[in-house]
Structure 1
Amino acid sequence: MTLDVPEWAADATTAVPYPLVFATVSGAHLYGFASVDSDLDLRASHVLPAHEVVGLRTGPETVERSGDRDGVELDIVSHDLRKFAKLLNSRNGYVLEQLLSPLVVVTSELHAALKDLAPRMITSGHAHHYLGFAHGQQRLYHNTGRIKPALYTLRVLLTGIHLMRTGEVVCDLGVLGARIAYVPELIAAKREAENGPMPARAAAYLAADIPALRAELEQARDESALPGYADPAAVDELHDLIVRTRLGQTSVATGSSPSAVA
């Protein structure tokens, strides 16, 4: 387990009443600035049994569970494999980050197969996701003046820039933000208080840096060597993987026997 992820994270995934393809940690823990009172965000994919897919009574494409454990707010969201695959094929950076998160709580052979396909699903069009997400977080920062949405804005833009230039998904702002002198100070302040205010001396720098990073992401998108769309052969393989899984030919994990966080 990492220092910030509770030891009981794996056990918490049993709240999803279906076999899990994977469960990983997202949110502030993944982004490198979890505070002492941060929520624990678990993101997962599950497999509905065939009779809940092809019959009259279908199972939930998305399962959501929330609660409190040991004083930590817990949020679990899991998509059925088919829905998750459709999102993955829609240039959705959020599910891509979930799939490739290094903070693994539950894994399986199917999880490994999806991760193997992921590089061929990455496109220059993922920049649209990061630009849109950053816009929403920037607006929230302007409305509240708090550190949390400011860090989210920086993280999203820097992740998008790195993805466009390298094809690699990196979410840790502590790594991505090494080029920005005040980022360590903001991360330290956020770790002390989840909803703390922005230090005045950093606010002026941020006002100039956010538009500059947005322009940098747009330029990185325009100059990216990434394809505009996912590899059609990879999409075909993704389709076949779903079919084989639904027919019981590919192994998935169970919520009762998850692996430890890597």
Structure 2
Amino acid sequence: MEIPASISTVIQQQPYPILFAAISGSHLYGFPSDDSDYDLRGVHILPVTEVVGLDTGAETIEISEIRDSVQIDLVTHDVKKFFLLLLKKNGYVLEQLYSPLVLQNVPEYEELKFIAKDCITRHHSHHYFGFAASQWKHFEQAQPHRIKPLLYVYRVLLTGIYLMQTGVVEANLVKLNQVFNLSYISDLISQKLAGEEHSYLSDVDIAFHQTEYQRLRDRLQNSYAESQLPESPTAKAALHDLLLRLRIRS
């Protein structure tokens, strides 16, 4: 995909060294509209002087601005905060780390991706249950019904099922549907790609999607029950070692 030059400029202007920065959101999920925001996510490294003293640096940096007619939303976490999130059942940070749309990284990024495989547990399913429920609520309550929340419902549930079955983080709905072969997904994606970010469904069978939503929730529950993924992460020591090396070098 073609990346606007303004995105690279924003990343280069960050005040701290970047461990990695990648694209998330609709561009990662496979259904960006022409007017979709660019959601950038990543990890910055605070220097030791801004960690051990009384005046500490920002654990999270958030920037939302328009550059060259492009809406850019950037969020980065300090490396320690990000590592602590990895040790929880947080699907967001896994998807950010394993995004194939990487904009900038240092050599330790590949090491982190290897270590983070030992952060993935069967209890990450709870993240996807919760996210799907909130998106279904948005879809069901909005009048008229928007395409984006419905696509999020399916993307989230399929990501969760695939993760439970394989231990692999895949957030792109187009690629997921090559595995699950749900006939209606391609049509929904086509409508989203052809319209605006907040476009609506002109004709929608709510009862059908309600049935599919519940069916996929049940499938996620079964995948969780049958998953061979571990009960808890085992990467804490390796993350601790990597954090010390990154912090000292900074």
TM-score band w.r.t. shorter chain: over 0.9
Kept in 1, the 8 Å contact 2:6–2:68? The answer is no
Match of 1:45 in 2: 43
Match of 2:215 in 1: 212
* Paired amino acid for 1:39: D
What is the CA deviation profile of residues 5-44 of structure 1, one whole-angstrom value per residue up to 9, with x for unaligned ones? 4244222213421000000000000000000000000001
Shift of 1:56: 0.5
What is the CA deviation profile of residues 111-139 of structure 1, one whole-angstrom value per residue up to 9, with x for unaligned ones? 11111112111100100111111111111
Answering whether residue 237 of structure 2 is matched by residue 243 of structure 1, we say no
Match of 2:170 in 1: 170
For 2:8 and 2:214, how far apart are their aligned partners in 1?
Answer: 39
Match of 1:226 in 2: 229
Match of 1:194 in 2: 197
Match of 1:255 in 2: none
Shift of 1:80: 0.1
What is the CA deviation profile of residues 227-257 of structure 1, one whole-angstrom value per residue up to 9, with x for unaligned ones? 01112xx210101110111111xxx8xxxxx
Aligned length: 245
Shift of 1:201: 4.3
Shift of 1:200: 2.1
Runs of 4+ in 1 over 4 A off after TM superposition: none
Provide the secondary structure at the position in 2 that maps to 1:10: helix
Provide the secondary structure at the position in 1 that maps to 2:75: strand
Provide the secondary structure at the position in 2 that maps to 1:182: helix
Kept in 1, the 8 Å contact 2:60–2:76? The answer is yes
Match of 1:256 in 2: none
What is the CA deviation profile of residues 138-194 of structure 1, one whole-angstrom value per residue up to 9, with x for unaligned ones? 111112211000001100000000000000111111121341111111111111221
**Which segment is superposed worse, 194-203 or 47-56?**
194-203
For 1:199 and 1:226, how far apart are their aligned partners in 2?
Answer: 41
Match of 2:161 in 1: 161
* Paired amino acid for 1:164: M
Identical positions, percent: 45
RMSD between aligned residues:
1.3
Match of 2:60 in 1: 62
Match of 1:33 in 2: 31
* Paired amino acid for 1:55: G
Q: Can you give the 5+ residue segments of structure 1 that lack an aligned partner in the other structure?
A: 253-262
User: Please, what TM-score do these two structures have when normalized by structure 1?
Assistant: 0.90
For 1:176 and 1:113, how far apart are their aligned partners in 2?
Answer: 26
Provide the secondary structure at the position in 2 that maps to 1:239: helix
Q: Can you give the 5+ residue segments of structure 2 that lack an aligned partner in the other structure?
A: none
For 1:110 and 1:10, how far apart are their aligned partners in 2?
Answer: 20
Provide the secondary structure at the position in 2 that maps to 1:153: helix
Alpha-carbon spacing, 1:177–1:206, altered in 2? closer, same or farther (3 Å):
farther
Match of 1:114 in 2: 112
User: Please, what TM-score do these two structures have when normalized by structure 2?
Assistant: 0.94
What is the CA deviation profile of residues 184-230 of structure 1, one whole-angstrom value per residue up to 9, with x for unaligned ones? 11111111221111242454431211111111101101110000111
